[in-house]
Amino acid sequence: MIIMANVQGVDKIQDSLGYLVLTEEGAVISSGGDLQNAEALADRLTKLVYTASRIPVSPDRRETFHKISVIWEQFMYVITVSNHRIYVCKRPYNPQDPAVA
């Protein structure tokens, strides 16, 4: 029950291919799917989150991001931070109107 409470439902996202729940330091609390036991990936994602937190997204300096998406051709990672936890969800990427050159 305690373990599932830490996941906060990220494992039940529709069309999710995998998930990670990390501490602020990048330690894996829970993982599943394609991201099961992906500790190396978790480490890189944590560094990415810290770098992204230094980029001002809006003119309000106090405001930080609420979501990061890292998008490849077929899939993407959606990352959010809440309550001292980093939540990562791997999802398929299906653009509705792909840009054509």
Partner 1 sequence: MERQLEKHLEETCRVPGISGALCADNNGLCLAARGCKPELAGHVASIAQQAAQLHPNSSTTPVICIESEGGSVLIKSENDVTMAIRGNSWVALKPLCMRRLSAIKRAMGYTTHLSNSLSSLF
Distance CA 85, CA 48 (A): 14
Within residues 57-86, the interface with partner 1 by CB under 8 A covers 57-60, 63-73, 76-77
Look up tokens 């653009």; give the residue: 95
Min CB(30)–partner 1 separation in Å: 19
Two tokens, residue 35: 């991201």
Of 10 and 49, the one with the shorter C-beta distance to partner 1 is 49
For residue 55, give the 3-state DSSP assignment: coil
CA angle 25, 28, 33 (to 5 degrees): 145
Min CB(41)–partner 1 separation in Å: 6
Contacting residues toward partner 1, per CB under 8 A? 41, 44-45, 47-48, 51-52, 54-60, 63-73, 76-77, 95, 97-101
